[in-house]
Amino acid sequence: MNMALPTEETIAAVATAVAAGQGGIAVIRISGPAAISVSKSIVSVPGEQPWESHTVLYGYVLDSQSNRQIDEVLVLIMNGPRSFTGEDVVEIHCHGGLIAVQQVLEIVLRSPKVRRALPGEFSQRAVLNGRLELTQAEAITDLIGARSHKAAQLAINGLGGAIQHRITTLREILLDQLSELEARVDFEDELPPLDGGKVLEELVKVQTDLKELINDAKRGSFLHQGLQVALIGCPNVGKSSVLNQLSRYERAIVSNLPGTTRDLLENEIILKGVPIKLIDTAGIRTTNDEIEKLGIQRSQEALLKADIVLIIFDLSVGWTQYDQRLLNQIPKDIPRLIVGNKSDIQIDSKSIHIDSKTLGITPEVIFSALTGSGEETLIDSLLKLCGAAELQSLEIALNDRQRDLASLAAEALERTKEVAQQELPWDFWTIDLREAIQILGEITGTELTEALLNRIFSRFCIGK
């Protein structure tokens, strides 16, 4: 994005999702000094409707080239600074779909005073004009992309300034300590002695808070990105049936024939507020079928990328050497849950007797994909394994950019601790402490360069 002063250019873009046959309305947002004059030139407003700030006008968009009406619209006028961007803003509400909204935008962009907005440019102008803090602007994109109620609530907390306040508070503590240290560097003979132990204690408190935020962000990423759960097992143990049961519809073809699933099947669901991507893999076994071999290879690749693995085996058969081989293939750092399926099967008119001697292993979950028996236990065990139970107590969650910077700040404070332990002079303390303060300023937007702003907002969608 080529940054310009927000008052120099007028920009426009569609600010709502656009899809054929979907959406009753679509909104075109125009921001900048020419927003109102350009809107007046293309919208015909019947009667005596004044173009005043924070009013809604009714009219028609006219195509001056063909002299015909393009769409029936409502026009919202917001004079700066009382607008999202802090500039003059006009929103044209036209009919949804594809054709009408694109025609209206094309007419707006014909004006030499208006150019198409770049990704995130409206939000960037809001930050530059002081209407939003940087973390609040980032929370908007988190809110739009929220895939669960909890993720949306975390985004709302960020939009309300919770992240900004937390990081600013920590940064101010560091600034206080830095000012004490620098004062001793310049005027040590004129000031009372500085207690290095108390300074270090304050730095450790900030570092501990940062580590807590980092850990919360890692857990919160499940809410934003979703949890990838791979279902693996030998052929015909019921992996596809498990996926169908949890999905509540027939997502996968189920058959008694081994090797029915030849490719990865994915389905996204929400389990108690946590987005879950279930990946049904091809049964892993030795085979001469080239297509099945390819499916098995993809299954093994999915196994390595999963956040959690459900290894499913057939209770009526018991734990076999093939099941054990699959268990051994799961990387040690990936959590796994052993699920015994087909608990509904009767053998010799008696229910399966489930114990470690009979099966060769003790399953962590007893399940029936046919009846749904054990489903609640399966869901609870899965969420417990990923730490989802702790997610409900989260109040804020840093995004990836913020988390990475918080990690760097914590590392800088760790280096300051090492300097303190070596009892080096005060000016050595300030080096890494100053770096930590600068990094936290990048989170809040206090310490930002043009290039950094461009990079942050280029990841936003157009119209935001």
Residue type, 229: V
Q: Quick one: pLDDT at residue 256?
A: 46
Average pLDDT per consecutive 10 residues, the chain (464 residues; last block may be shorter):
58 84 86 95 91 94 87 94 94 90 93 92 91 90 81 88 94 90 68 77 94 87 78 83 76 43 65 80 54 60 77 86 83 87 66 50 84 88 77 82 95 91 82 93 84 78 77
- For 30, residues 6+ apart whose C-beta sits below 8 A from its C-beta are 10, 11, 12, 38, 39, 89, 90, 91, 92, 108, 114
Provide the pLDDT for residue 456.
Answer: 80
pLDDT at 290: 54
Tell me whether residue 62 is exposed, middle or buried, using C-beta atoms within 10 angstroms of its C-beta: 0 to 12, 13 to 18, 19 or more: middle
Q: What is the pLDDT of residue 23?
A: 74
Helices first, then strands: H and E counts in the chain: 15, 15
**Residue 453: per-residue pLDDT:** 78
**Domains defined for the chain, CATH in brackets:** 10-131 (3.30.1360.120), 134-444 (3.40.50.300)
Q: In terms of Cα–Cα distance, which of 81, 238, 159, 65 is closest to 399?
A: 159
Which pTM does this prediction carry? Answer: 0.74
Q: According to the model, what pLDDT value does residue 371 have?
A: 87
Look at residue 349 in the predicted model and tell me its pLDDT.
40
CA–CA gap between residue 282 and residue 298 (Å, rounded): 8
Q: What is the pLDDT of residue 7?
A: 56
